Chain A
Amino acid sequence: MTLQRKKRISIISLLIFLLCSCIFSICVGAVEIPLKNLLKILGNSIFQLELTGIPKQQESVFLAIRAPRVLLGALIGSTLSITGCSVQGMFRNPLAEPGLIGVSSGASMFAVMFIVIGHSVFNGLTLMFGYYALSIASFVGALLTTWLLYKFSVSNGKADISSLLLMGIAINALAIAFTGIFTYMATDDQLRTITFWSLGSLGGANWKTIMVILPFSIICITCLLPFGKALNAIALGESQAEHLGMDVKKINKYIIILSAIGVGASVAMAGIIGFIALLVPHLLRISISADHKFLLPASALFGGGLLVLADLVARTIVIPAELPIGILTAFMGVPMFIMIILKNKKERQNL
């Protein structure tokens, strides 16, 4: 049972990794918060202690900026990574990711549309939801894309994976074209928002965004976690999974819907953050184990920690400005990804 042990140790170390990157990310920034003061602030706000000697500025930076931002990073990283892992398992293709089936770009298309023509056309929406209107627009986009995908690729109650993938490509192309039109129509100001948004950023984090994304993230993560056994069986082939008593039809349906919820909410709150969903499960699969019972929780933990660290770099590397996090995840992701492919290729040659 050496591998079993390795999996257990990995889960524990990934949990520690997530915690450490959260603490590190809270402490470091334009305003430094020493660990001692962080503990005091936590003591005061959670346990109602009356500890003194904390600079006012550090406390308010922690409560209003750092804490929600780190939390948002961890939530989005976990959600994206676990959906990536499930979708890869469902497609039986390690290169699949939610972006691939068109959900991310569907969401982004709606958001860009809203930025450009939002105030004239969707005036009511803005009035009703104010700050959240943009998020709601992209969330609607994600759900609509998923519904469309599902309608087109499910025949006789069975999801046809290859047509789902092809539909994803078509939707991606369509979304890029529409996004292009709206970008062309946009004013300079709007253009800046669009760019920033389509490259992803956790800059919008506050306690309100946390409250909006929290239920979606929790539903997505907790409902996807028990699919480990099913995804392992599906890896043998769909008919083999059925012979092992799995209702593949139902499993595919649940995974598609849960992924839409997770990805839709994440894109709505932070824009398109690429490569995390692709990279995290792949990295864990190759370095530790391809067993989905391990891979699902490990992806959630590792993805959360990694995105928090990426955000730390994004907001400190060009102080006082901020780099869109999507650029960073791509820069971190691509070399790692190429390394993985090369390593894989070498292993195959050695066989």
Chain B
Amino acid sequence: MIEVSGLNYYVGNRTLLKDINFRANKSEILAIIGPNGAGKSTLLKLLSKQLRSKDGTININGFDLKRLDLKNLSKFRAVLPQSNYLNINLTVFDIALMGRYPHFKSNPNNIDIEITEYALKEMGMLHFKNRLIHNLSGGEQQRVQLARVLAQIYDDPTGILLMDEPITGLDLQYQQVILEKAKSLAGTGVTVLCVLHDINLAAQYADKIMILKQGNIMGYGGPQDILSEELIFNTYHTRVKRIQDQSLGYPVIMPVS
């Protein structure tokens, strides 16, 4: 569970985030959407303790983030980065094992190896475990990264997963694979917070959506309630049509010219 109240963040006299209040619940996916420069990544960096703010409080599982050091945090909080090129050519297994780094000192215990293999299996990558990461496609590499992140919080039902545009640059199938996994992870009790660019993917997978614009929260709620044509126009300055298909439980947003 993540609780944020009264959070402000300035650089010089520019306000990047202004009076942010929200709550991401256990077993839920909270998607953060908004135009470029809205402060989505800044918010994620504040939540992962890469940036610090003097104003406001961030509570993670009931603990004040200021009092959690990186080491303790890493035991239950994992971060999935954007899909990017790794400049170290390790095997798939070695990469996934890094997720267990916070849990062992210098050599992995049997449980760490088991969990790593299980996480790889979950992501359908176990048969690649001795392959070098550079010999895989972008989508496969991102699945290995997700396996790593999965291994990190695998044995903790109170885990927190932060994802920063995890599917940028991936094709339709892998977008669904990655977000499907995030959804099932939330099903086990994990709190998932995910920055997304695609409104429709957010509508499809998120339990709650938060819309940011220029550091302000424009809207916050369930996809059905919040994704109105008007609010999206106010946020993105783009006319859209909201389509509601009876067979889908979520709205579809189409830009119109």
A225-264 toward B: CB 8 Å interface, digit per residue (1/0)? 0101100110111011011111100000000000000000
Give Cα distance in the complex from A229 to B90, angstroms.
13
User: Which chain A residues lie closer than 8 Å to B135 at the CB level?
Assistant: 351
| Known A236-B98, A237-B81; contact A242-B90, beta-carbon cutoff 8 A | no
A291 touches B106 (CB 8 A): no
Q: Does A289 contact B (CB under 8 A)?
A: yes
Q: Which of B70, B73, B86, B134 contacts A236 (CB 8 A)?
A: B86
A239 touches B152 (CB 8 A): no
A243 touches B48 (CB 8 A): yes
B101 touches A291 (CB 8 A): no
Give Cα distance in the complex from A236 to B90, angstroms.
11
User: Which chain A residues lie closer than 8 Å to B79 at the CB level?
Assistant: 239-240, 243
> For chain B, what secondary structure do more than half of its interface residues adopt (helix, strand, loop), or is it mixed?
mixed
A226 touches B106 (CB 8 A): yes
Q: Does B89 contact A (CB under 8 A)?
A: yes
| Known A235-B87, A290-B88, A351-B135; contact A245-B74, beta-carbon cutoff 8 A | yes
Q: How many residues of B contact A (CB 8 A)?
A: 31
Q: Does A319 contact B (CB under 8 A)?
A: no
Q: In the complex, what's the smallest C-beta–C-beta distance from B70 to chain A, in angstroms?
A: 5
Q: Does B257 contact A (CB under 8 A)?
A: no
A232 touches B74 (CB 8 A): no
A232 touches B50 (CB 8 A): no
208-237 of chain A: CB within 8 A of chain B: 226, 228-229, 232-233, 235-237
User: Which chain B residues lie closer than 8 Å to A52 at the CB level?
Assistant: none
User: Which chain B residues lie closer than 8 Å to A92 at the CB level?
Assistant: 87-88
Closest to B133 in A: A290
B70 touches A232 (CB 8 A): no
Q: In the complex, what's the smallest C-beta–C-beta distance from B85 to chain A, in angstroms?
A: 10
Give Cα distance in the complex from A237 to B94, angstroms.
15
Q: Does B109 contact A (CB under 8 A)?
A: no
A289 touches B90 (CB 8 A): yes
User: Which chain B residues lie closer than 8 Å to A242 at the CB level?
Assistant: 48-50, 70
B75 touches A245 (CB 8 A): yes
User: Which chain B residues lie closer than 8 Å to A246 at the CB level?
Assistant: 70, 101
Q: Which of A226, A245, A291 contacts B94 (CB 8 A)?
A: A291
User: Which chain A residues lie closer than 8 Å to B72 at the CB level?
Assistant: 245
| Known A233-B98, A290-B88, A291-B90; contact A244-B130, beta-carbon cutoff 8 A | no
Q: In the complex, what's the smallest C-beta–C-beta distance from A222 to chain B, in angstroms?
A: 14
B119-135 toward A: CB 8 Å interface, digit per residue (1/0)? 00000000000100011
Give Cα distance in the complex from A242 to B47, angstroms.
13
251-303 of chain A: CB within 8 A of chain B: 285, 289-291
User: Which chain A residues lie closer than 8 Å to B90 at the CB level?
Assistant: 232, 235, 289-291
| Known A226-B106, A229-B101, A232-B98; contact A243-B74, beta-carbon cutoff 8 A | yes
Q: Does A2 contact B (CB under 8 A)?
A: yes
Q: Does B71 contact A (CB under 8 A)?
A: yes
| Known A229-B106, A290-B90; contact A244-B101, beta-carbon cutoff 8 A | yes
Q: Which of B78, B88, B89 contacts A243 (CB 8 A)?
A: B78
Give Cα distance in the complex from A232 to B93, angstroms.
13
Give Cα distance in the complex from A236 to B95, angstroms.
9
A240 touches B81 (CB 8 A): yes
Q: In the complex, what's the smallest C-beta–C-beta distance from A82 to chain B, in angstroms?
A: 17
Give Cα distance in the complex from A247 to B95, angstroms.
19
Q: In the complex, what's the smallest C-beta–C-beta distance from B128 to chain A, in angstroms?
A: 13
B210-247 toward A: CB 8 Å interface, digit per residue (1/0)? 00000000000000000000000000000000000000
Closest to A239 in B: B50
Give Cα distance in the complex from A290 to B50, angstroms.
27
Closest to A347 in B: B134
Q: Does A127 contact B (CB under 8 A)?
A: no
Q: Does B91 contact A (CB under 8 A)?
A: yes
A327-351 toward B: CB 8 Å interface, digit per residue (1/0)? 0000000000000000000000001
Q: A228-B106, A236-B98, A239-B48 are in contact. List 17 more A-B contacts (CB 8 A).
A: A2-B130, A3-B130, A229-B101, A233-B98, A235-B87, A237-B81, A243-B48, A243-B74, A243-B78, A243-B79, A244-B102, A245-B71, A245-B72, A246-B70, A247-B70, A247-B71, A285-B89
Give 14 A-B contacts (CB < 8 Å), ordered by A residue: A92-B88, A93-B87, A226-B106, A232-B98, A237-B84, A240-B81, A243-B79, A244-B99, A244-B101, A244-B102, A245-B71, A245-B74, A289-B91, A290-B90
